[in-house]
Structure formats: structure tokens, C-alpha cells
Amino acid sequence: MPLPLCALMTVLTAADPWADTVSHFDPGLGGAPGYDEASTVLGAPTRWTGEGTETPTVVSPFAPAWMPDEIVSIGAGGSITVAFETPILDDPDNLFGIDLIVFGNAGFIDMAWPAGVCGGLFGADGGAISLSEDGVSWVVVENVAADGPWPTLGWLDAGPYDESPGQIPSDPTRPVDPALDVASVDGFTHDELVALYNGSAGGAGIDLQSAGLASAIAVRIDVPEDAFLSVEIDALVDAGVWTTADLNSDGVVTVDDLLIVIGHWGAVDGPGDADGDGTTGVNDLLVVLKAWT
């Protein structure tokens, strides 16, 4: 029988893939004035920016989040540490093996404004990422910058500077293929970028295996003391289980996937079996809700 409504609402309010708490924040020196609210890194990456100004736009690879309540700025010598209530797990079955995604506010230079043609990155300011299984010992992630490729894509059906939100949101738990080189997209149009992202919201993807870790409960982002530019961070996301949670394969995890689970409750080897255990039940519901877009 379907999960009782009261139990379903409890799960809905408890499960999400975002970072849960900020355990430490040192703004460092030279960060952007006014961009010092550390809690902005909690929750989903920004899809809509400039609200309340004369130039609100969708967040796109050419128009990154820029408001003080959307990103936090970390200056030279500064750092931020966030924790996840549910550990991020190293799972080779995740898409491209990516387990964690960090969203900054880098963007592509528009070589044909306002058409949206890639001409290199701006605002890709770096930031070293370290992971911890226990919040005490730390391992540095090599060759991945916190504030860098890939710029955030908020909507799959919006233009690069649209002044109203799209109808099809991207999936923040779905990574861009890490084998892609950001330099290879020079000259790409916005539509070509959207196709390349393949449903992803972008961000910097991390495979915990590359750091030799089976899990992580905390993530720290450090800025060198001699850094010339500050690092801006929007969100940190557990990328696990999106592949199985997207039951209708539309590139996002939404109420449509939830209804598939509920509609096949108790079925054996049915389309609602998100966790692959052969039946459809509470665990499949949790998988879908954790990966909710």
C-alpha cells in the first residue's frame, strides 16, 4: 500500500542533497564587501539572480549568480567548512563516478553579446577543496577548483539572459562529463552548451575515490594567503543516486518520478525500483527525494 501521507511529508522535509551546516567561516582578506553571509552556501544552487534590481535574469553559463544573498566571497587566507548530515559516499555507479559537486559563480565571456557565444571564462577564481570523513583529518582534492568550470546552468529551456525563469530546471545532482576540457567549448553557442551539459546544472565535480576516501561528512574550501582574487561559492551538492532516481529519464528528478514510485508501490522488478533491490517501497522513495531537483 502507498506510504501514509504523514510519513511522506516527514521524508519530504528531511531529505535533500545540499550541504546542511556551516561549521567554520573565515572571510579572509579582500573578499567582496557585503558578500560575507556564510549560510548562502546552504541549499540549492541559484537559478534566478538579480531579483529586486533592474536587471533580473536566469542564471546561465553567461550570467552567473551575483547577489549577496546568493554567494559568499572568501578572500586571501580565508576558508569555509560545511557539513552534511548524511555522509557523501564514493559510489562508482554515480554518473562519471562523481560524488560531490561544488558551484561557484564563474561564467563564460560572451563573444557575441547577447547571443551567448563562449570565449573563455571569467570569475574562475580557484579555491582548494579538502574532504574529511570525520571532520578532523583532511584530504586535498587535486586538480579541481571550487570556483571554476563548469558555470551554473539554471534552466534547460531558457536563453542566456532571459528575464523570466524557464519551465525545465536543470539537475544540480547531475555532473558535466569530467573528461570535457573547458577550452574545447570556445566558440560554442548557448544552445550547444545546453546540449553539452545534457541536463546538468554544471559545477565542479569530485570523485571521492580520487582523494582515497570512501565517504565524506565535511568539505572545506581554502583560499591561499597570496591569492589576488577572492573565491565565490554558491552551493555544495551530494551527487549520489541521481541516475537511478531519474525514473522517467527526463534529466531531472521531480514529482513525476515520485509518482512512478507511488504508482508501483509493492511491485516486483517494476519501474519504480530506484534502488535496484527488486521491489518498490520506502527505500526507493528516499532515493528519489534525496536526488530531488
The pLDDT-based confidence of 14 (bands split at 50, 70, 90) is very low
For 29, list phi and psi in degrees, rounded to 5.
-115, 135
Give domain limits for the chain.
1-17+241-293, 19-239
* DSSP letter assigned to residue 232: E
Burial 105-137 (b: 16+ CB within 10 A, else e): bbbbebeeeeebbbbebebbbbbbbbbbbeeee
Residue 2 is predicted with a pLDDT of 47
What does the pLDDT look like over 48-84, one tens digit per residue? 999 999 999 999 999 999 999 999 999 999 999 999 9
End-to-end CA distance of the chain: give it in Å, rounded. 26
Kind and range of the H or E run holding 261: helix 255-263
Q: What is the mean pLDDT of residues 21-44?
A: 97
Instruction: Specify the pairing of strand 100-104 against strand 79-89.
Output: unpaired
Q: What is the DSSP letter of 96?
A: G
Q: What CA–CA distance (Å, rounded) separates 52 from 120?
A: 29
Assigned fold of 1-17+241-293: Type 1 dockerin domain (1.10.1330)
Residue 198 has pLDDT above 50, yes or no: yes
Instruction: Give the mean model confidence (pLDDT) for residues 223-234.
Output: 97
Q: Round to whole Å and give the CA distance between 4 and 77.
A: 50
- Residue ranges of alpha helices (H) inside the chain are 5-14, 190-197, 242-245, 255-263, 282-290
Cα–Cα distance measured from residue 162 to residue 58, given in angstroms and rounded to the nearest whole number? 6
Quick: pLDDT tens for 112-170: 999 999 999 999 999 999 999 999 999 999 999 999 999 999 999 999 999 999 988 88
List pLDDT tens digits, range 199-212: 899 999 999 999 99
User: What's the confidence (pLDDT) of residue 10?
Assistant: 40
Determine what percent of the chain is predicted with pLDDT higher than 70. 91
Nine cell digits for residue 236? 555544495
Report residue 293's pLDDT band, with 50, 70 and 90 as the boundaries. Answer: low
C-alpha closest to that of 87 among 13, 142, 19: 19
- pLDDT band for position 89 (cuts 50, 70, 90): very high
Find cell 560572451 and name the residue: 110
The answer to pTM > 0.85 is: no
What pLDDT does 250 receive? 66
Q: Is the pLDDT of residue 244 over 70?
A: no
- 236 in Cβ contact with 103 (< 8 Å): yes
